[in-house]
Structure 1
Amino acid sequence: MAAMTITRTMLRDLPLLPKGGTKYRIFDDRLVGFIAEQRQTTITFYFRYADARGRRHEIKLGRLGDVTVDQARKRAEKLKAEVSLGGDPAADKAKLRAIPSVEQFVAERYLPHVRERLRAVVNVEAYLRKRIIPEIGRKALDEVTPQDVAELRSKLIAEGLANGTINRHLATIRAMFNLALRWELYQGRNPAASPGMLREQHRDKYLSSAETRALVKALDADKDPVAAAVLALLIVTGARRGEALNARWEHVDFERGLLTVPRSKSGRPRHIALSPMARAILQRQFAVRALAPNNPYVFPSRKLPGQPVEGVRGAWARAKKAAKLPEDLRIHDLRHSFASVLANSGTPLNEIGALLGHSQLSTSSRYSHHSPQRLIDTATVASRAWNLVPEPDAA
């Protein structure tokens, strides 16, 4: 090791390394920390410094030929100034290298996190696998920009996906980066903070009283009483299909009139209130439990021991046809019908939300327009309080 001024001429005139020698280091006598390291076939530049804790670090500046002596010196000068101002270039570089790619973050951190909390994780996995990862997966978290998100959004639109499906993709990206920021995996902003959500048109299809009675009658006569009972429970509780299919006897409390869902769509437990009719449906199932005494499910499979009924699509199709209901009526529309009739009867939105297990009042507010007269009557309260409502004409 020697100390001298590192110049292009000096490096050009360096003698070859002695036989058996591996490297020879030259420390610049003008810029402390600037080093040229000679090996058998290359010369590489480094900058050495000590951090605030006295730990020594070296940063590789490049090989001669890839960079010039002057370029390496200028880079070393810049790093020395940064250190003098309290910086730690090596730590900053290590921190950048530690930032995972989107694909790595999703596999190692994000999906394990959401699998513990979301019931609908299958949808999230599909959004990531099919479209999000192929588009931005190779980029580090801090490299993804709002423009990247905008381009993905444009591709989803061009693909012809429904607005709601596009919004679910964008919401997944937003949630993913929010977690990465919360866990301090990188510094910056969420590139999907304002992803440009599209306007969604909710599909409004609700059963009338006559249609509901016809459907219940058709279910009572269906050849599959277990599947029919599932659908009947959905009609009178507004429960989700999966909540009914996966109901177990340990979750039924006849005394309190509750069916507990240990893990709802939001990932949290929820309690389904059982009306007298809902309780009667469950009691009928309990009465025939002797047919499957070892099956823990309220609606047991007739084919697979210890498993719930496989599905209800067959019973649904037969009942719709027998009740002369629209072919495009979905099982999930039973949940909307339940909420709609509550709204029309004047049930407050917060109570509807509690019954349906909505985590946000905005989700329940979509049913408010189904009770216009109730809203008109409520709006009239203010005018009546001000004595602005005209008195009816005397008979």
Structure 2
Amino acid sequence: MARTTITPSAMRDLPALAPGVAKARIFDSRLRGFIAEQRQSGTTFYLRYKDARGRNREIKLGRLGDLTVEQARKRAEQLKASVSMGADPLAERDKKRAVPLLAEFAAQRFLPHVQEHLRSAHNIDACLRLRILPFLGRKALDEINQDDVATLRRRLIDEGLSASSINRHLGTVRRMFNLAQKWQLFEGRNPAAAPGMVREVHRDKYLTADQTQALMRALDLERDKGAAAALALLTVTGARRSEIMLATWDNVDLDRGMLTVPRAKNGRPRYIPLSPFAVAILERQATRQLPDNPHVFPSWRRCGRAIESVRAAWGRAKKAGGLPADLRVHDLRHSFASALANAGTPLNEIGTVLGHSQLSTTTRYAHHSPQRLIATATAASNAWNLLPAPTAPSDQAAG
């Protein structure tokens, strides 16, 4: 082990390595732990130090040529000072290197997590695969900043995506960083904590009572009885399409009037109450049950599978019932909620029936029950004895 002052001249005058010798180390006599390591390929500088647990640690400073002797010494002095203050440069470097790329995090941790907990995992996968990862995937988590998220948002808008689709992408990025922070994969702020969600204008398309009756008459005459029954059940339960089309008889309790969805959109079980009308639909559908097929609405083409689509039957029923051509199957869910609101059903109960995880999702139906809301607002005035002023008698009445 050679010890001398590491200087530019000393590095220039290093003797050639003896045959068979892989390396030689020179330890600086002025700065303890500062090392120059000579190899056939060149000279590299290191700093040796002890961490907080008293273990010897060694960090590479750089190669001679990439930095000068003076630069290497200055860097060694800076690191040595930080060590005296309790830092561990090697641990900090390893921690930095351990921060995964966004694409790595998505594949190894994030997608497996959402696939386990969310029914909508396929939508999240599409957001990542088509737009988020092509733009941000090659950056480490701690390299992505608010400007990157803002640029992604602008790209989504310029692409012409709907407000709901843009928000789904931005919400995915926000959720990714929230989980990465929770799992301590990087330090710092969530760059998508406030991603600039786009204001969504919900489409208000609801069936009137007359339109609903016309739809039911058209479904009674529909030739595809299975699809017609599924559409009728969607109408009178407000359930999501997948919750009805993928239902199995094991999850139907006609005696209790309940359909269980083992894994709803939020990943948890939910229970759909069945009205007598819904029970009657299911009782008729039970007569069409196929052997060795557990589904309430079985496929006639694929053995043991659920019905593939109700699109054709839906198009025929809309035409036969004289309904708007742009009416969607999902509008049946909105129509059901609207009918409950018009009947004076409290919003929290509507949310429970629809399986909303947040009351804010249900409040869009509040304006369908204005008289009930007016009565609620009047309750405060009554409590304060603030009654309307009596109407002044007319002149004719006074005469």
TM over 0.5: yes
Cα deviation digits, residues 220-263 of structure 1 (max 9, x gap): 01001100000000010001111000110000111211000000
**Cα distance in 1 for residues equivalent to 2:55 and 2:72:** 23
Map of 2:380 onto structure 1: 382
**Cα distance in 2 for residues equivalent to 1:144 and 1:320:** 48
Partner of 1:178, secondary structure, is helix
Map of 1:132 onto structure 2: 132
Cα deviation digits, residues 277-296 of structure 1 (max 9, x gap): 0011111112333xx13210
AA of the residue aligned to 1:181:
Q
**Cα distance in 1 for residues equivalent to 2:231 and 2:391:** 48
Alignment match of 1:348 (pick from 346, 349, 358) = 346
1:288-327 correspondence runs (5 A): 288-289=288-289, 292-327=290-325
Map of 1:165 onto structure 2: 165
Deviation at 1:139, TM superposition (A): 0.7
- Give the TM-score taking structure 2 as reference length: 0.96
**Cα distance in 2 for residues equivalent to 1:162 and 1:308:** 30
Deviates more, 1:105-114 or 1:371-380: 371-380
**Cα distance in 1 for residues equivalent to 2:63 and 2:254:** 78
Deviation at 1:390, TM superposition (A): 4.7
Seen in structure 2, the aligned counterparts of structure 1 residues 62 and 387 have a Cα distance that, compared at 3 Å, is closer
**Cα distance in 1 for residues equivalent to 2:137 and 2:216:** 49
**Cα distance in 2 for residues equivalent to 1:306 and 1:246:** 12
**Cα distance in 2 for residues equivalent to 1:303 and 1:82:** 71
Partner of 1:32, secondary structure, is coil
1:1-395 correspondence runs (5 A): 1-289=1-289, 292-385=290-383, 386-390=385-389
Cα deviation digits, residues 366-385 of structure 1 (max 9, x gap): 00011222222322233334
User: Contact conserved, 1:383 with 1:389, CA < 8 A, in 2?
Assistant: no
**Cα distance in 1 for residues equivalent to 2:354 and 2:212:** 19
AA of the residue aligned to 1:359:
S
Seen in structure 2, the aligned counterparts of structure 1 residues 41 and 269 have a Cα distance that, compared at 3 Å, is closer
Cα deviation digits, residues 8-35 of structure 1 (max 9, x gap): 1111112111222221111001100000
**Cα distance in 2 for residues equivalent to 1:74 and 1:50:** 19
**Cα distance in 1 for residues equivalent to 2:73 and 2:216:** 85
**Cα distance in 2 for residues equivalent to 1:383 and 1:60:** 75
Deviation at 1:392, TM superposition (A): 7.7
Deviation at 1:120, TM superposition (A): 1.1
Deviates more, 1:144-153 or 1:305-314: 305-314
AA of the residue aligned to 2:111:
L
Moved over 4 A (4+): 390-395
Deviates more, 1:221-230 or 1:295-304: 295-304
Deviation at 1:175, TM superposition (A): 0.4
Deviation at 1:110, TM superposition (A): 0.1
Partner of 2:117, secondary structure, is coil
**Cα distance in 2 for residues equivalent to 1:330 and 1:185:** 43
Cα deviation digits, residues 286-326 of structure 1 (max 9, x gap): 2333xx13210111112222111121111100000000000
AA of the residue aligned to 1:48:
R
How many equivalent residue pairs?
393
AA of the residue aligned to 1:355:
V
Q: Identity rate of aligned residues, in percent? A: 63
AA of the residue aligned to 1:303:
R
**Cα distance in 1 for residues equivalent to 2:382 and 2:22:** 97
**Cα distance in 1 for residues equivalent to 2:380 and 2:23:** 90
**Cα distance in 1 for residues equivalent to 2:256 and 2:392:** 51
Partner of 1:116, secondary structure, is helix
Cα deviation digits, residues 45-90 of structure 1 (max 9, x gap): 1111121222221111111111101000000001111111111110
Cα deviation digits, residues 345-378 of structure 1 (max 9, x gap): 1100000000000000000000001122222232
Deviation at 1:328, TM superposition (A): 0.2
Partner of 1:48, secondary structure, is strand
Deviation at 1:393, TM superposition (A): 9.0
- Give the TM-score taking structure 1 as reference length: 0.97
AA of the residue aligned to 1:388:
L
AA of the residue aligned to 1:250:
D
**Cα distance in 1 for residues equivalent to 2:203 and 2:183:** 38
Structure 1, unaligned runs of 5 or more: none
